[in-house]
Structure 1
């Protein structure tokens, strides 16, 4: 059975995903938020920031914002997986002025798996706000204590040419951008630019642009914009091009993703 269930919890401000029996492979990409997820069934080969991991049931995933990652099934194994997506600001009450950084993207056979399942079920079942908040606070505090360190995300990347390229891509993502433009920006040839960017980010400039366009598209979906408008505003050729990319990167169609925010917009 291939099933995908998503919901948005307004009390906590988090998205919750449940994938059952999924065979889809995910290309190299990143998110602008934290992801915490649990493998419940299936084995996967995952690459995060150019390092390979093998995922098994009971492993907890902890992605930092802008950690590039890809994954694929092993020997036809189907994935059953649940996760929550957490905006950076959610962590500030726990960590003060600094954003935390998980030291590893995988916590093998962690004893926090049961606590995470309990929290995820509370979100899925729309439990009382106070009960969910208590579970959330206890889980996040223990997660940070075990697996993170504090860091200023804005200061992580101190390599000026790469920073300039990222800023340019994030500013002009709705336009057609060529390697020639980026080369002129940082005064590097194409070979040096692609090699240096990929070594630093673990992802090519073009894939970085694609991923950032998806990040902005998600924001517009949350606002209820039409697919045609979103495609136009995020630099995709047309609605079909946008839908194909979104499904590859997120594992859901744009309409499936937008539905989790419909109730909140109506209210």
Structure 2
């Protein structure tokens, strides 16, 4: 049996200002992490075991996945099957504006379900992805995007301020805020201990229980998000690594590839190369399209 080549197609749409991506034949495990954006995705093929916010799910083709910003999650293959997956990444500002235009109210939505089993909404998500891929007229893309969000916001979300979720206590929030403000610095566990007065073991257990990730994983996820923004603006990868606190270029590249599935340079090309430029590596097919972030 021939090994199926992994393919990763990622696009930035300058009209909708969102990312769309398609993973094909993926065997990679994705470690525990979170996103600063909303993610709407669905499984096209294969099976995955998903962990999200202390809940577990067995996913198969046709299941829709909804991640809120900061929903920690990780996944692994089931029965050795390869994953085919499509998704949209939607920044918080874009989602807030869309919610206002759909409902007439200014709020951030919170998806109340992580998985919608065998959802009839998946064709609507696929339609948005195809419109972006085919560079459809702006009106066509916007119409597909808002039809998708209208159904999701109406049926599967509540205002974030009304969501019944436990927030980290004041001490843990203080540590999170510190890491978000000082992510480029050499933050150590001892420096965090000095801020809260906890013992080392208690801090690790309490932080992980309340946020879903360890302090180090939290810091690295923040660094990763900031580095993506720098890469999108054209900052060279070696400079982006130094500006976001990664110890060296190799560490940055390995970490970026582990979580994003691309190298920093491949990710940057999505925003800087001409339309329809394709780069094939030993395992990945990267489809790049120029995006205007101004």
TM-score, L = length of structure 2: 0.87
What does the per-residue CA deviation read over 1:145-167, in whole Å, with 9 as the maximum and x for residues that have no partner? 121111239x9736101100100
1:97, CA displacement in angstroms?
2.4
Query: Within 5 A, what are the aligned runs for 1:119-158?
Result: 119-152=128-161, 157=167
1:91, CA displacement in angstroms?
2.1
Q: Residue 248 of structure 2 corresponds to which residue in structure 1?
A: 238
Separation in 2, partners of 1:225, 1:156 = 37
Q: Residue 207 of structure 2 corresponds to which residue in structure 1?
A: 197
Separation in 1, partners of 2:159, 2:216 = 30
What does the per-residue CA deviation read over 1:52-97, in whole Å, with 9 as the maximum and x for residues that have no partner? 1111110111100000110111121100001010011122232432
Contact map agreement 2:233 2:293 (CA 8 A) in 1: no
1:212, CA displacement in angstroms?
0.7
Separation in 2, partners of 1:120, 1:83 = 8
Check if 1:92 corresponds to 2:101: no
- Structure 1's unaligned 5+ residue stretches are none
Q: Residue 277 of structure 2 corresponds to which residue in structure 1?
A: none
Number of matched residues? 267
TM-score, L = length of structure 1: 0.96
Q: Residue 81 of structure 2 corresponds to which residue in structure 1?
A: 77
The alignment's C-alpha RMSD in Å is: 1.8
- The SS at the match of 2:207 is helix
Separation in 2, partners of 1:180, 1:260 = 39
Separation in 2, partners of 1:239, 1:57 = 37
1:34, CA displacement in angstroms?
0.3
2:291 pairs with 260, 264, 267, which one?
264
- The SS at the match of 1:116 is helix
- The SS at the match of 1:260 is helix
- The SS at the match of 1:261 is helix
Query: Within 5 A, what are the aligned runs for 1:1-267?
Result: 1-93=5-97, 94-95=99-100, 96-152=105-161, 157=167, 159-262=169-272, 263-264=290-291
- The SS at the match of 1:111 is coil
Separation in 2, partners of 1:41, 1:117 = 14
Q: Residue 284 of structure 2 corresponds to which residue in structure 1?
A: none
What does the per-residue CA deviation read over 1:127-150, in whole Å, with 9 as the maximum and x for residues that have no partner? 010011011111101011121111
Separation in 1, partners of 2:68, 2:292 = 28
In structure 2, the CA distance between the partners of 1:234 and 1:150, relative to structure 1 (3 Å rule), is same
Separation in 2, partners of 1:266, 1:74 = 38
Separation in 2, partners of 1:205, 1:251 = 22
Q: Residue 276 of structure 2 corresponds to which residue in structure 1?
A: none
Contact map agreement 2:168 2:210 (CA 8 A) in 1: no
Separation in 1, partners of 2:138, 2:72 = 33
